[in-house]
Amino acid sequence: AATTMSANATFSEPWSGTLTHLEWPSTPRLALITLINFPVLAILLNVLWQLLPRPKSQPPLVWHWIPFLGSAATYGRDPIGFFRQCREKYGNCFTFILLGKRVTVTLGTRGNDYVLGGKHTQLAAEDVYSPLTTPVFGKDVVYDCPNEKLMEQKRFVKVSLTIDKFRAYVGMIEDEIKGYLETDPKFRVYQMDDINEWGAFPVLEVFSEMTILTASRTLQGREIRERLTKDYAQVYHDLDHGFTPLHWMIPNLPLPSYRKRDAAQAKMSAFYQSILRHRREHPEEHQDDDVMASLMKQRYRDGTPLRDHEIAHILIALLMAGQHTSSSSLAWTMLHIADRQDIQEALYEEQVKHFGTPDGGLRDITYDELRDLKVLDAVVRETLRLHPPIHSIMRMAHEDIPVPATLAAPSEDVTYVVPKGDIVMASPIVSQLDPTVWENAETWEPLRWYDDKGVAAQAHKQYNEGEKIDFGFGLVSKGTVSPYLPFGAGRHRCIGEQFAYLQISTAICALIRRLELKLEGNFPKSDYESMMVQPLPCKILYRRRKFD
Ligand code: HEM
């Protein structure tokens, strides 16, 4: 017993004397002490590492206390504020640490040009985006294939996004919005037919639902639209919940949202492929003129047709690429319209002027007339200036790439070099809100687009006119140096631009004809924690218009 007692004492008091006392227990204690002190040690080492002199050619590193996490919290909470603060401190080019990755940001119009106009062999999008998109879209499309193949896939889709198709889409979109107002429980007050009563609807939910209904009715095809509201609503929901910044940063975790994402992708892919087989086996039943029908006829440059799973995955990619971008843009637009009664009135007057009938009604909207509506056009353009849904555009540097001195340089005789392996990031929104370019840059002011010679018109011209390049999906304007780039630029420029304009504009017309709107409470702030910049949850008040 005495021996046991002394052994116990030795364990509990290792510091009390002899060498034998210290030997035995030191390993677990040391491990514990090291474990407790590890974060402190890591922080200290990280601070020391940042204080060491660095090669002049490396862009400045944003100061951060916690290794690995780096500036993730500040960037994630408010990327625009973070970029502005860093720009003030370090200039147009700097590097920050984001969850263990080095990210070099290049700001301003030259910074946008550096990233968006970069060569694909030097700056690749797929390395950065694929961990997010491949589990959601599926294999062999978009960023899960060589860039040349993506360019061909973009060309295939563009075939279905022609003016002829758009002419037919306008009526379908208006029809969907009208049907939604007349049947969805969130518009109960509208359905009561009482023009004096005000109701309220939740902004995010309503515009997200309107977007998916209108996109599936037009682009996705009859079968998808019919089953979307029934059996596929949950599948879409599960897929969508796997399309978040967390799923991007950590692509595989043993969590339910990841398992549901993978199951939903498999189910959605199988559903599209079953439609394809049915269409092929029963051509007499299918006279459809949608994206699927068009993809079935396309051939890659080497003569091979698209495989069924590729068609399915391109359609899923279009659904996801267009959903959050268009729905957040529509939500911001309607919030501003609800906030600015003068613009709301001007929009309604424009409808009456162009579509008014002798009996005081409004006739159907047409695609060709839609393009003549100046107030509407200005409203959409201004919203995309202030709230482009994508705040950070990223590529991976495949080699060391020098930064032009006109963008940023440490001194006259030295240039910065972005090292191979860095993520390179541009943020066109910083240029779209730059007070040195735009008057009252932070104010939503559609009137700025009326002036044909003003800054806005010039920026729009620079974006859409001038030198044109074909990256494999038809001619697109280079446009990378414009301070207005809501749809990106270069080889990765959006192919959904005209469709999104049409979808958003038609939805605005359909809503403004039928509803008067007011904000409930203050104008909402931006939520940067979701995939796209969307408003924080809020409501809009509505009342049925008299002459609807
Ligand atoms: C690419 C914005 C709607 C399909 C892009 C990019 C931006 C963008 C900024 C470039 C991304 C990059 O360079 O990394 C928007 C906005 C939209 C919208 C603001 C709505 C207001 C749509 C719609 C579709 C679509 C409706 C589909 C019908 C695509 C595709 C790409 C793309 C396929 C090309 C990706 C690539 O080449 O890497 N979009 N988009 N977008 N968008 Fe859109």
Output the residue whose Cα is nearest ligand 1's atom 10. Answer: 488
pLDDT tens digits, 177-213 = 999 999 999 999 999 978 889 999 999 999 999 999 9
Q: Which of 173-182, 218-227, 346-355, 412-421 has the lowest mean pLDDT?
A: 218-227
Output the residue whose Cα is nearest ligand 1's atom 21. Answer: 326
Distance 151 CA to ligand 1 centre (A): 13
Closest ligand 1 atom to the C-alpha of 323?
Answer: 26
Contact, 411 vs 483, CB < 8 A? no
d(CA 402, CA 417): 4
Closest ligand 1 atom to the C-alpha of 503?
Answer: 26
- Residue 520 tokens, joined: 């409930």
Q: ∠ CA(204), CA(207), CA(212), 5° rounding?
A: 120
- Residue 508 tokens, joined: 């605005």
Specify the higher pLDDT residue, 492 or 39. Answer: 492
Amino acid making up residue 359:
D
pLDDT tens digits, 419-476 = 999 999 999 999 999 999 999 999 999 999 999 999 999 999 999 998 899 999 999 9
Distance 389 CA to ligand 1 centre (A): 10
**Residue 7 scores a pLDDT above 80:** no
d(CA 468, CA 288): 33
Distance 326 CA to ligand 1 centre (A): 10
Q: Which of 9-18, 298-307, 347-356 has the lowest mean pLDDT?
A: 9-18
Distance 487 CA to ligand 1 centre (A): 6
- The number of helix segments (H) and strand segments (E) in the chain equals 23, 14
What is the model's pTM? Answer: 0.92
Closest to 273 in 3D by CA, of 296, 301, 252: 296
The residue to which tokens 């002199």 are assigned: 53
Closest to 246 in 3D by CA, of 237, 256, 234: 256
Distance 220 CA to ligand 1 centre (A): 16
The residue to which tokens 């590097």 are assigned: 95
What do you get for the CA distance between the two ends of the chain, in Å? Answer: 96
Closest ligand 1 atom to the C-alpha of 317?
Answer: 33
- Residue 539 tokens, joined: 């409501």
Output the residue whose Cα is nearest ligand 1's atom 43. Answer: 494
Residues with CB under 6 A from ligand 1: 125, 150, 154, 318, 321-322, 325-326, 329, 388-390, 393, 486-488, 492, 494-496, 499-500
- The string of DSSP letters for 169-182 reads HHHHHHHHHHHHHH
Q: Which residues pair with 232 in a beta bridge?
A: none
The residue to which tokens 């979701």 are assigned: 530
Contact, 467 vs 117, CB < 8 A? no
Output the residue whose Cα is nearest ligand 1's atom 28. Answer: 496
Distance 307 CA to ligand 1 centre (A): 23
Distance 455 CA to ligand 1 centre (A): 24
Residue 371 to residues 59, 163, 167, 518: CA-CA distances in angstroms? 45, 12, 11, 26
Q: ipTM of the predicted structure?
A: 0.99
d(CA 418, CA 451): 40
d(CA 320, CA 216): 11
State how beta strands 423-426 and 393-397 pair.
antiparallel
Output the residue whose Cα is nearest ligand 1's atom 42. Answer: 494
Q: Can you give the length of the chain in residues?
A: 548
d(CA 485, CA 431): 9
Contacts 24+ apart (CB under 8 A), 209-213: 209/180, 209/184, 210/176, 210/177, 210/180, 210/327, 210/330, 210/507, 211/322, 211/323, 211/326, 211/327, 211/330, 211/503, 212/236, 212/319, 212/323, 212/327, 213/176, 213/180
Closest to 92 in 3D by CA, of 390, 415, 440, 422: 415
Residue 25 is predicted with a pLDDT of: 52
State how beta strands 199-202 and 526-527 pair.
unpaired
Question: At 518, is the secondary structure helix, strand, or coil?
Answer: strand
Output the residue whose Cα is nearest ligand 1's atom 39. Answer: 494
Contact, 541 vs 199, CB < 8 A? yes
Question: At 516, is the secondary structure helix, strand, or coil?
Answer: strand
Residue 288 — very low, low, confident or very high, per pLDDT cuts 50/70/90?
Answer: confident
Distance 488 CA to ligand 1 centre (A): 7
d(CA 205, CA 325): 14
Distance 182 CA to ligand 1 centre (A): 31
pLDDT tens digits, 36-85 = 788 899 999 999 999 999 999 999 999 999 999 999 999 999 999 999 99
Output the residue whose Cα is nearest ligand 1's atom 3. Answer: 322
Contact, 166 vs 214, CB < 8 A? no
Contact, 501 vs 168, CB < 8 A? no
Closest to 291 in 3D by CA, of 267, 315, 264: 315
pLDDT tens digits, 374-430 = 999 999 999 999 999 999 999 999 999 999 999 999 999 999 999 999 999 999 999
Residue 443 is predicted with a pLDDT of: 98
Distance 319 CA to ligand 1 centre (A): 11
Helix, strand, coil shares, percent, the chain, to 5: 55, 10, 35
Tell me the best of 325, 377, 382, 432 to mutate to test the pocket of ligand 1, counting ligand atoms within 8 Å of each CB and taking the most.
Answer: 325
d(CA 197, CA 190): 8
Closest to 397 in 3D by CA, of 372, 376, 426, 437: 426
Distance 374 CA to ligand 1 centre (A): 24
Residue 54 to residues 49, 95, 366: CA-CA distances in angstroms? 9, 13, 61
d(CA 463, CA 481): 8
Distance 258 CA to ligand 1 centre (A): 24
**Four-residue CA torsion sign, 216, 218, 223, 227:** positive
463 phi/psi in degrees, rounded to 5: -75, -35
Closest ligand 1 atom to the C-alpha of 500?
Answer: 26
Question: At 50, is the secondary structure helix, strand, or coil?
Answer: helix
Closest ligand 1 atom to the C-alpha of 329?
Answer: 21
Residue 202 is predicted with a pLDDT of: 97
**Four-residue CA torsion sign, 174, 354, 376, 482:** positive
Closest ligand 1 atom to the C-alpha of 328?
Answer: 21
Closest ligand 1 atom to the C-alpha of 151?
Answer: 37
